[in-house]
A and B are shown apart, each in its own frame.
Chain A
Amino acid sequence: MEFWLSTIMPGLLTGAVVTVSVTVASLLIAVTLGFGLAVLRQFPRVRLLNFAIDAYVEFFRNIPALSHLFILYFGLAAVGIKITSIPAAIIGLGLIGAAVTCDIYRSGFLALGIGQVEAARAVGMTPVQTIRFILSPQAIRVALPPLGNYALQLMKDTSIVSAIAAPEIMFYARSMVTSSFQTTLIYSSAAMVYLLMSLPLAYAVTRLEHRFGGKANA
């Protein structure tokens, strides 16, 4: 018990700070870049751009995050582009996340009825104004609950950046195991730390769902 308090928990909590930092930083990249992609995708005329965005989304969504991280961290280093582990983790998870949130925002746009666009056109709004003042604010509201779910998933996914030596929770857990061999205690404590972080997030998502969920606009 004393060992748990003096060594294991402080180690895991030090890792938790990195977990939260990486989560927040990559979340910021994901929600902004993904929104930009989803908005560009709303202009149906530009075929090549649409194809490029779809290709981006499918590329990042159909390959494991671990694979992307290895390419970014080990692969690029071998050709002279060296990115240290935490920036690599943030960039990698951020780029993958942009593909995920792009799909989320797009469903948000799709949930809006054609009447919303027609009313905006009828008053003389340009396509850009229509997206900015009429569609985006509504799409973002619809997107909030799934974005919350994504944030929860992202927090868990940061565990894999231990594989590229980013010193988050699992990284500390593994390094403590090699020195103490208290495997059961350490790994169940790690699971508990994640649980303690995800429970409030999951609660917040439920609140978002109650507030914004299931209210599709005509």
Chain B
Amino acid sequence: MLEFLDVYARHADQWGPRLADAAVVSARISILGFMLATVVGLILGLAQEASSRIVRTVVRGYIVFFRGVPVLAILFLIYFGLPGVGIVFDAEPAAVVGLGLAFAAQMAEVFRAGLGAIPRGQWEAAMSAGFRPAQTLFLIILPQVVRIIAAPVIVTFVALLKDSSLASLITVNELVLEGRALATEYFLPLHIYIWVGAMYFLIAFPLSMLAKYLAKRARGARA
């Protein structure tokens, strides 16, 4: 056991900075991807309630497609497949777009559930008070939705963060790919992959706990 830990002590200087740099890349694609997912997801979530049947069908199709196809297949399609029809992405933007579009489908469901939890009376009360629809949405409805969806939003972010590891397979130099490079260089894959796993855990675990706490609080508020 001590021997096992000693390896870390000896290599911390070399591995630490490189994995820290790679973690920045992981964080960057996760955050940018999540921002894209949030915006697209909100639009989809609202469009699901649209009166136009065509709009609703398109949204439904989008969600069915992205819920049915693995994130990895989407990343490959964007990064390796699209150049075949003349659309070329660098690896990192491809990862952001792929993660963002895939998780937008999940965010749409989160928003839809959140919006659905707000009683019609809230819209009616705001409209009768003279608010325009956009004002009603942003001033009255969304602040209530935020409380309800805080926990599932964080859960979705953690899932996206974990799936950002797939970007390693389209050559993005994030944590897992850097880990692979180190593993071949030092030939200590067990030590290195454990370190890599721990770095994800250090970010994901507190977020998961926060989500649990918020979910509990939201349940308490409604009960």
Q: Do chains A and B touch in the complex (CB under 8 A)?
A: yes
Q: B82 at the A/B interface (Cβ < 8 Å)?
A: yes
- Interface of A: prevailing SS: helix
In the bound complex, do residue B162 and residue A156 qualify as a contact, i.e. CB atoms below 8 Å apart? no
B165 within 8 A of A: yes
Structural contact, A70 and B73, CB atoms closer than 8 A: no
Q: A78-B188, A199-B64 are in contact. Are A194 and B76 (CB under 8 A)?
A: no
Shortest CB distance B97–A (Å):
15
How many contacts A-B (CB < 8 Å)? 133
Query: Is A67 in contact with chain B by the CB < 8 A criterion?
Result: yes
Contact (Cβ within 8 A) A159 B163: no
The interface residues of chain B, by DSSP majority, are classed as: helix
The answer to whether B200 and A62 touch across the interface, beta carbons within 8 angstroms, is yes
| A67 vs chain B, min Cβ distance (A) | 4
B162 touches A63 (CB 8 A): yes
Pick the interface stretch among B37-45, B49-57, B138-146, B191-199: B191-199
Query: Does chain B have a CB within 8 A of A177?
Result: yes
Residues of B with C-beta under 8 A to A202: 64, 67-68
Are B169 and A71 within 8 A (Cβ)? no
Is the beta-carbon distance between A66 and B176 smaller than 8 angstroms?
yes
- Name the residue on B nearest A195 (C-beta): B68
CB atoms of A160 and B193 under 8 A apart? no
Complex Cα distance, B158 from A112, in Å, reads 28
**Residues on the B chain within 8 Å of A187, using CB:** 73, 76-77, 80-81
- Contacts A177-B80, A198-B67; is A67 near B165 (CB within 8 Å)? yes
The residue of chain B having its C-beta at the shortest distance from the C-beta of A186 within the complex is B81
Contact of A67 among B83, B188, B193, B205 (CB under 8 A): B193
- Expressed in whole angstroms, the minimum distance between the Cβ of A68 and any Cβ of chain B is 7
A173 touches B76 (CB 8 A): yes
Q: Which residues of B contact A (CB under 8 A)?
A: 64-65, 67-74, 76-77, 80-85, 158, 161-166, 168-169, 176, 179-180, 183, 187-194, 196-197, 200-201, 204-205, 208
Residues of A within 8 A of B (CB): 58-59, 61-68, 70-71, 74-79, 152, 156-160, 162-163, 169-170, 173-174, 177, 182-188, 190-191, 194-195, 198-199, 202
